[in-house]
Amino acid sequence: MKIKNVIEKKDRPITIAGPCSAESEDQILMTAKALAAQGVDLFRAGVWKPRTSPGSFEGVGSIGLKWLARAKAETGIKVTTEVANPHHVIEALRAGIDVLWIGARTTVSPFAIQEMANVLKGVDIPVLIKNPVNPDLKLWIGAIERIYNAGIRRIGVIHRGFSFFGNSKYRNVPRWQLPIELKRQLPEIQIFIDSSHICGNTELLFDVAQKAMDLNYDGLMLEVHPNPSKAFSDAKQQIVPADFEKLVNNLVIRDLKSENGIALKHLRQQIDEIDDELFQILAKRLEVVKNIGHYKKNNNIAILQPKRWNDILEKGFEKAEHLGLSREFISAYLKAIHQESINVQEDILKKR
């Protein structure tokens, strides 16, 4: 795929900002004027809101497109809104929306994406695609491919985190490895961080945005509202325009020129050597796993031993704490190792 930029690159992060929802014409104009004065690249506001509960605020509908058009006319700032079906796409195109974005709840549905792609054939408009709700990289790339096959070339992605089961400080856990892998497979695509939806609060917004800058993301999307406490939706994660300006100005942008530094090459060589050692150790571990598999087969013992697995986890967490390793990392590592051990033992038990 020969993907082009949604927004031309600058010597600073590209910024997309605005309220979660368009609530009134005054609210849209007030926010747009404040953000335009800060040089924001794209003004965002949702007019159709996919909500979990039917009683929640689901957006003002097409009337909000007129408010966005007026904001664009009065400030010169380009505008974007979320679309979730062909009707939304047609209405947004008629209203002169500059960029369309596809939300996480829509990205999960190949049918919905294809229906919108069919409407977009022959249209030249940039499209931003949020990651699907669930951590499925193929589904994310599939959505990109469907829009690309419709003839759209200016495509970008928005990393807004993933749903999860359990406790986390995030509303949607980042799972940084997925957008990193997407960028590896599609290096030309622009990627933006949606700190608002990852965090679900204002306390973590800067830290998540800064990590994205450290990973060389192209820019950020944030929810900005003139009075967040009165917002119709997502009140806890929105900030006022002044705080948005402060957050952006405090971001540290890393210098890619150090990529070829001798010191960095030396450190990476050390990493490669350690990785080689780790692979050797993992191979030895799997040899022991095979022996265990044969023993279980000969003695008719079940593969999964819950008590043993729980002991491995608890000991791993305890050791990790003393070694300064995060519980999240060790959990992911041990689960991957455990699953591979199960796969190896299953192959042994299947053989006659």
- Across the 352 residues of the chain, what is the mean pLDDT of every consecutive 10-residue run? 91 94 96 96 93 78 96 97 97 97 95 97 96 95 97 97 87 91 94 95 94 93 95 92 96 72 77 89 93 92 90 91 90 92 91 79
pLDDT attached to residue 119 = 97
> ∠ at Cα 25 (24, 31), nearest 5°?
90
Q: Which distant-in-sequence residues (6+ apart) come within 8 Å of 163 by Cβ?
A: 133, 134, 172
| Dihedral pair phi/psi, residue 38, rounded to 5° | -90, -5
Q: Distances in Å between the alpha carbon of 23 and those of 29, 30, 49, 80, 267?
A: 11, 12, 11, 15, 52
Q: Distances in Å between the alpha carbon of 173 and those of 58, 161, 337?
A: 24, 5, 22
pLDDT attached to residue 261 = 67
Give residue for tokens 């990627």. 191
Furthest-apart CA pair in the chain: how many Å?
78
The one-letter amino acid code at 144 reads: I
| Dihedral pair phi/psi, residue 184, rounded to 5° | -65, -40
Give residue for tokens 């010191």. 263
pLDDT attached to residue 259 = 58
Distance of CA 107 to the CA centre of its chain: 12
Both tokens of 286, joined, read: 């799997």
pLDDT attached to residue 54 = 80
List 155's β-bridge partners, or say none.
127
Domains assigned to the chain: 14-254 (3.20.20.70), 259-350 (1.20.59.10)
